[in-house]
Amino acid sequence: MKPFFVLLLVAAAAGSLFLALNKDAPGPAQDDPGRVAYEAPEEDTTAPSVEDVPDLSPVDTGDDRENVAPEVASTLADATPMTTLAGYGDLTGKVTDAGGAGLSGAQVTLTIFGSQSFNFFEDVDRSKDVTTGTDEEGRFMFRRVPIREGYSLIATHPDFSRTELAGVFVRDGEVTESADIVMGKGRALRGRITDSSGSPVPGARLVLNQDMFGASFEGGSRVDQLETSSDEQGGYEFSNVAPQQNYALTVVAEGYGKVILPTIAVLETEDTVKDIVLEVASLLAGQVISQSGEPIEGVSVEAWAMDQTKRNVHTKAKSLEDGSFEFTDVPPGQYQLVARHPMYAANARERAEAGEVNVTITLEQLPAISGRLVDASTGAPLARGVVQLRAAIVGSQNGQTQALKNTSVKIDNPQGRFTIVSPKAGTYLVEGKASGFADTYSETFETVMGQDMTDIIVRMTRGGTIVGRVMDDAGQPIQGAVVESHDEVWSDDAFMRVLGDIGDGSEKSARTGADGTFELSGLTPANYQLLVRHKDYAQAKVTGLIVAEGQELRASDAILPRGGIVSGVVYGPGGSPLAGAQVKMFPTTPAGRTHTVVTESNGSFEIRSVREGGYKIHATRRRSSGDNPFMENLDLKDTQREINVRNGQTLGGQEFRLKDH
């Protein structure tokens, strides 16, 4: 891991992940439970056309500056088709009941935001999840899914509890069969809603959310939550709730303060009873103004309870044209007010007591960065394109930068003009993207609070090219290998996916032809590495590639060995072969990569195309949302061992026996 990655851990906590699926993927298949909900576009290894980028028009803030980034904007990576990845596969599987019978009418969602994923972010965008239904035999299919590990499958059904299968992966050019998603009956969560005098509160809306962050931020996605209402006696009930899981319960009733109970544990052995007392709501109101005293419309004001020892209260309001805002659903108590607007620095300093109506929040306007996108060779403006801010990475060896989320702006004017609001004072550059050009950067500049930055010119260039050849270890060309370009700081792991667009190199890909050759053009000048892989060979990297503007760089041949094979059987605690268990291998020597497979119905597994070297290997039982979250660590401790793999070798007989815990 490079030194600056440690510095980015804190920054990563404020970032967001995105599902590497096409933004235009279809949504839930409600009417036809057997249809395929996701099929990626046909493979395209060229740069994305600007015509494919959705409109990122600004919100109407009343400001006269054009093309201001919206408050919740897609990043460019979110907005463009998945053209940087040439590898796809199909994912299929089956949803069953506890007896193994297929369940028709279940909804299956493919996501990277599972409850057990590497994810701790507030602003998770679940809109890119894709959903399909099961057929009469309980089967489902997702076609042309970008290859990767770390997907989750979430199954819902009216007669069963929500069930999640984590650690799902997709192989390049193959149909990957996931382990069966076994759904079971859940337990009930019930109780009674009353006011502080003991009187029932009918008609209260209750939302039970398994996504803890989602619950705190106005609810999660459809697959993460259940909803119900209290009856005339204040009673409520959620049926078929997955047990052995903590939930957040949000309760809203007219005239009462909103309440979020963040840690309700649903038991496995019996139904859970939770009575809730609501307090009469108080009014909390005020005005948002600028430093010059002008009212600000459209500010999102959040109220967070200061005392959260027993319950969590969090609610939102929007300021009106005169800057006024009000909360009508806060219980008595003290609150921290957080004000956010895309054109002003966030303010989280104000504190207020429920009942106050003259709270004043003052916001400082952020600096605006304006300029033009032009063709470097002619000086002519480019009427269409996309720009976004990048910030310098402290401690990077070659001055690499990181794209900033929520700063992408679409250009659609004859002068090529743009305006981006800087998230804070600092050191930045503007990245430009346009059809037919390499991604190009402006000169670095400094922004200062209270001062706009003008006349930033992004002079778009054609970039450089990498050509090369992929061969096997016998010197024969390999056709159909995927060659991906990445900045030198990139690594193929979950942590890098969290960090997002790190480094200045362009991420593009191509497949090799019959003679094993490839070409990657339109690359931003930078230091590169190539990741080369093929489903029948061990992957390889080519490093130390320096791309210059207008030049063609011939890379050394990428040699892909056949690799070795590791096989064996996983047994459950009772001694029987265990289907659906995961076997993972982590390299302990350079050049290796992580491998993950799922055991077959007879508990057997086979890991192919393993690069020669040392590895740590272990097995874990299949996971679902109701499992002990520490079970995987216990399995790892019980089963992990070290092995050495040689090229052309089959290392069989790897047996793993899981224990009861």
Lowest mean pLDDT among 74-88, 198-212, 452-466, 492-506: 74-88
Q: Is the pLDDT assigned to residue 612 strictly greater than 80?
A: yes
Q: What is the pLDDT of residue 465?
A: 97
Return d(Cα 438, Cα 47) in angstroms, integer. 8
Residues 6+ apart with CB under 8 A from 620: 581, 582, 584, 631, 632, 635, 636, 639, 658
Return d(Cα 275, Cα 237) in angstroms, integer. 11
Q: How confident is the model at residue 124 (pLDDT cuts 50, 70, 90)?
A: low
Q: How many CB atoms lie within 10 A of CB 450?
A: 10
Lowest mean pLDDT among 37-41, 54-58, 290-294, 547-551: 54-58
Return d(Cα 434, Cα 411) in angstroms, integer. 10
Q: How many CB atoms lie within 10 A of CB 270?
A: 9
Residue that is written with structure tokens 């804070």 in the block: 424
Strand order in the sheet with 282-290: 324-330, 282-290, 359-363
Dump pLDDT digits (tens) for 13-56: 333 323 333 333 333 333 333 333 334 334 333 322 222 222 22
Dump pLDDT digits (tens) for 380-428: 999 999 999 999 877 666 678 888 888 999 999 999 999 999 988 889 9
Q: Is the pLDDT assigned to residue 61 strictly greater than 50?
A: no
Tell me which of 623 and 313 has the higher pLDDT. 313
Q: What is the pLDDT of residue 64?
A: 33
Q: What is the pLDDT of residue 538?
A: 94
Return d(Cα 304, Cα 314) in angstroms, integer. 5
Q: Is the pLDDT assigned to residue 128 strictly greater than 80?
A: no
19 φ, ψ (degrees, to nearest 5): -75, 125
Task: Please give the average per-residue pLDDT across 309-328, as a whole number.
Answer: 85
Which H helix or E strand runs over 116?
Answer: none
Dump pLDDT digits (tens) for 134-183: 999 999 999 988 877 778 899 999 899 988 887 788 888 889 888 889 99
Q: Is the pLDDT assigned to residue 492 strictly greater than 90?
A: no
Q: What is the pLDDT of residue 430?
A: 96
Task: Please give the average per-residue pLDDT across 274-291, as a whole number.
Answer: 94
Task: Please give the average per-residue pLDDT across 346-375, as a whole number.
Answer: 93
Task: List C-alpha distances in Å: 472 to 314, 484, 497, 545.
Answer: 59, 18, 29, 21
Return d(Cα 471, Cα 559) in angstroms, integer. 5
List the structure tokens of 135. Answer: 């057929």
Task: Please give the average per-residue pLDDT across 322-346, as a whole number.
Answer: 92
The DSSP line for 591-608 is T---EEEE--TTSEEEEE
Q: Is the pLDDT assigned to residue 86 strictly greater than 90?
A: no
Determine the residue type at 208.
Answer: L
Of 169, 130, 127, 132, which Cα lies nearest the Cα of 147?
169
Of 542, 545, 580, 534, which Cα lies nearest the Cα of 558?
542
Q: How confident is the model at residue 553 (pLDDT cuts 50, 70, 90)?
A: very high
Q: What is the pLDDT of residue 500?
A: 63
The secondary structure of 514-536, three-state, reads CCCEEEEEEECCEEEEEEEECCC
> Which DSSP category does 367 fall into?
P
Return d(Cα 531, Cα 487) in angstroms, integer. 11
Lowest mean pLDDT among 124-133, 169-178, 251-260: 124-133
Return d(Cα 583, Cα 268) in angstroms, integer. 28
Q: How confident is the model at residue 72 (pLDDT cuts 50, 70, 90)?
A: very low
The DSSP line for 316-329 is EEE--TTSEEEEEE
Q: Is the pLDDT assigned to residue 512 strictly greater than 90?
A: yes
Q: What is the pLDDT of residue 606?
A: 93
Return d(Cα 104, Cα 132) in angstroms, integer. 12
Strand pairing class (650-657; 564-571): parallel
Q: Is the pLDDT assigned to residue 214 strictly greater than 50?
A: no
At residue 76, the 3 state secondary structure works out as helix
Return d(Cα 644, Cα 14) in angstroms, integer. 39
Dump pLDDT digits (tens) for 182-195: 999 989 999 999 99
Strand order in the sheet with 205-209: 225-229, 205-209, 245-252, 259-266
Residue that is written with structure tokens 């260039």 in the block: 461
Return d(Cα 500, Cα 487) in angstroms, integer. 12
Of 616, 470, 488, which Cα lies nearest the Cα of 540?
470
List the structure tokens of 482. Answer: 């995927």
At residue 462, the 3 state secondary structure works out as coil
Tell me which of 7 and 282 has the higher pLDDT. 282
Domains of the chain from N-terminus onward: 3-44+81-182 (2.60.40.1120), 187-278 (2.60.40.1120), 282-363 (2.60.40.10), 368-460 (2.60.40.1120), 464-560 (2.60.40.1120), 564-657 (2.60.40.10)
Q: Is the pLDDT assigned to residue 586 strictly greater than 70?
A: yes
Lowest mean pLDDT among 100-114, 274-288, 490-504: 490-504
Task: List C-alpha distances in Å: 383 to 55, 68, 469.
Answer: 14, 17, 37
Q: How far is CA 527 from the centre of its chain?
A: 27
